[in-house]
Amino acid sequence: MRITNNMLVKDMLWNANNNLVQMAQRQTELSSGKKIHRPSDDPVGITQVLKYKTDIREAQQYKKNIDDSLGWLEVSESAMHNLKDILQRVRELTVQAANGTNTTDDRQKIALEVEQLMQEVITVGNSTNAGRYVFSGLQTNEKLFNPDGTYNIEMTSNRLAAKRTVEYEVSVGTTLNIGTHPVDIFGAIPNNNFFSGMITNSSVTTEKATKSTFKATVDPTLDFTGDTLAFNIGGTNYTVNATILDSTALNPMNKTRLIEAIKSATDVGTGTLSEAADVYFDANDQLVIQSNVFGAGTPIVPTITSTNLNVVSNTDGVNGSTDTLSSTAAFTDADVLAATGIHQLVFQVDNTRGVLDIDFDNLISDDKAGLQDAVQNALNANFGAGFVTANIDLNFTVSGPNDGLTHQFSVDYVSSSESEMVVDLKNLLSALNTGDDAVIQISLGKMDLHLDRVVSVMGEIGGKTNRIEFIKTRVEENEITFTGLLSKVQDVDMAEAIMYFKNLENIYRASLSVGSKVIQPSLVDFIR
């Protein structure tokens, strides 16, 4: 085999360049500290890197959630400690007031302190954490109590039954309820709402409205000369100008021209089809004419079609569904006649919530028809006329608007407006002012019940706190573990990389030295 000088030079250059490539790779690893920079570096390793990074980010987010939940629990625990101290002081004052030797002036002084303590109970109930009210269930943007001690949020039958509060996801598959429902602390006194037992919390979701749509296959390169297209949309005829459809060598028909021709179709006046419908070619290359509005009011009917246009489908739009929400038990005219005062219904449409105050003392007539009118007027005032209709038995019909969206509608009633704890404090205050020793004695037992309730809640908060502390330790350990696994897959062994780099550097120097000998000889060197 004949070895030429050119072959030697090429081999030398290839080896030297290959060595440089490997040196560049090692240099990148040393400068970045990472072994994997792109999927081609390690197809298997890159999937592990991405998975570990996801695990680490999840652990970090869980740590934030845990810190937030611990902050919430700390505020709750502090509030419960304050409430326990307040109730303990009220109990001491009640015992002191129950002493038959107290004068009227003594009871008045005790009453003044009890009144201040009651206001502090209301303040504790409105405790906040980062601007969110901790004892308002899921309504964390609303304070729990009004200044007079009544509930500010609507205590509906659903809220009292479900007792939903703030939740945090603190680890994979673990979501903890870290809030405390106000009823578990402050209690709730039933307000004997007329609708209790007659209205059942229920909801319905309307179906969305659709648009009328006409589809056809058409070859716009065919000759439309002499053809006429016409469409009736919602009862209005639109005729395409036949001259616009003419196809010539200089101005051949195409998709764009066809769309513009149909859009410019006119009715008997100055209106154009583009004002009533959209025209385009879809992903299946089908011509689509679609109504601009939702609902069944604008069907599309092709009155004149070309032989070049083959109808695929013609679908009329549908209106938003009308659904009936049946949530009432049987009641009579006599039931309505017997009711007095204001009773509250709660309706919600999507995110709009309305509390309907139905005044039974001012009904048009003291029977079911009068109640129906009152409820209907309140519904119209809150949600607009025609959206929700109440019948004589207070079943409700919801007419979905033609906006292409689904809408959720629910009905409930307010079960309670007052806190048992605050009412008991008010009764104690009244008894102190009037000298009613019997009520003062009864109040002593009620304060014991409230204290027991608060202590029980404190135990629950402590248990939740301990569990979250354990979860926090586990999540932190998981983050360290995932970080270690990621390092094993992705990080460079610096000592090994430096050794390889120095070895490659020596090889490169040697290749350059050998190259100088290979390249050095020339024809002049041989003829000397």
Region for 386 from its dihedrals, namely left if φ exceeds 0, alpha if ψ lies in -120 to 50, beta otherwise:
left
| Residue from 261, 270, 211, 210 nearest 236 by CA | 270
The pairing of beta strand 408-418 with beta strand 128-129: unpaired
353: in domain: yes
Number of neighbouring beta carbons within 10 Å of residue 219: 12
Q: Looking at residue 325, what is its pLDDT?
A: 82
The pLDDT, as a whole number, for residue 517 is: 62
Cα gap 15→221, rounded to integer Å = 60
Amino acid occupying residue 112: L
Per the structure, the complete domain to which residue 352 belongs is given by: 322-417
79 found inside a domain: yes
268-327 pLDDT, tens digit per residue, is 777 899 999 999 999 999 999 999 999 998 999 988 777 778 889 999 999 999 888 877
Binned at pLDDT 50, 70 and 90, residue 488 comes out as confident
Q: How far is CA 12 from CA 112, 119, 304, 500, in A?
A: 102, 92, 80, 21
What's the confidence (pLDDT) of residue 522?
Answer: 59
Of 315, 334, 360, the last residue of a domain is 315
Domain count, the chain: 4
Mark which of 290, 315, 340 sits at the end of a domain. 315
Domain shared by 396 and 364, yes or no = yes
pLDDT in the model for residue 368: 93
Asked if the model's pLDDT at residue 66 lies above 70, the reply is yes
Q: Is the pLDDT of residue 74 over 70?
A: yes
- The residues near 422 (Cβ < 8 Å, ≥ 6 apart) are 118, 121, 122, 145, 149, 150, 186
- pTM of full prediction above 0.95: no
- Is residue 12 classed as helix, strand or coil in its secondary structure? helix
Q: Is residue 346 part of a domain?
A: yes
In this structure, are 184 and 60 located in the same domain? Answer: yes
Average pLDDT, the chain: 86
Q: How many CB atoms lie within 10 A of CB 95?
A: 12
pLDDT exceeds 70 at position 122: yes
Q: In this predicted model, what pLDDT tens digit does every residue of 426-469 receive, in sequence order? A: 999 999 998 888 999 999 999 999 999 999 999 999 999 999 99
Report the pLDDT averaged over residues 488-499: 72
Instruction: Tell me what pLDDT residue 508 has.
Output: 65
What percent of the chain is predicted at pLDDT more than 70?
87
374 lies in a domain? yes
Of 187, 132, 189, 188, give the one whose Cα is nearest residue 165.
132
What pLDDT does 312 receive?
Answer: 92
Overall average pLDDT of the 79-105 stretch: 91
Tell me the average pLDDT across 218-234: 78
Residue 485: count of CB within 10 angstroms of its CB: 16
The mean per-residue pLDDT over the stretch 355-379 comes to 93
156 and 66 inside one domain: yes
The CATH number of the domain holding residue 91 is 1.20.1330.10
For residue 204, is it within any domain?
no
Position 106 pLDDT exceeds 80: yes
- Record the tokens describing residue 9, joined without a space: 């030079």
Asked whether residue 21 carries a pLDDT value surpassing 90, the answer given is: no
User: Is the pLDDT confidence value at 225 over 70?
Assistant: no
d(CA 375, CA 372): 5
What is the predicted pLDDT for the residue at 313? Answer: 92
CA dist 102 and 135 (Å) reads: 37
Rounded Cα–Cα distance for residues 517 and 12 (Å): 11
36 or 359, greater pLDDT: 359
User: Using an 8 Å Cβ cutoff, are 231 and 306 in contact?
Assistant: no
Give the pLDDT confidence of 371-410 residue by residue, as tens digits: 999 999 999 998 888 888 999 988 888 888 889 999 888 9
In a domain, 15, yes or no: yes
Q: Are residues 126 and 73 in the same domain?
A: yes
C-alpha 416: how far from chain center: 28
* pLDDT (mean) for 335-341: 92
* pLDDT confidence tier of residue 16, bands split at 50, 70 and 90: low
Domain identity same for 223 and 292: yes
Same domain, 182 and 61: yes
User: Is there a domain that residue 196 lies in?
Assistant: no
How does pLDDT run across 183-209, given as a tens digit for each residue? 999 999 998 899 988 888 888 898 999
Residues 303 and 338 in one domain: no
Instruction: Please write the tens of the pLDDT for every residue from 512-528.
Output: 666 666 555 555 555 55
Neighbours of 445 (CB within 10 A): 10
Based on the fold, state whether residues 449 and 502 are members of the same structural domain: no
Question: Are 282 and 383 within one domain?
Answer: no
Whether residue 474 sits in one domain with residue 368: no
pLDDT in tens, 29-49: 666 667 676 677 678 777 887
Same domain, residue pair 20 and 73: no
Residues 92 and 184 occupy one common structural domain:
yes
Does residue 145 contact residue 155 with C-beta atoms inside 8 Å? no
Q: What is the pLDDT of residue 178?
A: 92
Q: So what's the pLDDT on residue 226?
A: 67
Report pLDDT for 2: 63
Q: How confident is the model at residue 414 (pLDDT cuts 50, 70, 90)?
A: very high
Q: What pLDDT, on the 0 to 100 scale, is given for residue 257?
A: 84
- The residues facing 310 across adjacent strands are 217
Answer whether residue 39 is part of any domain: no
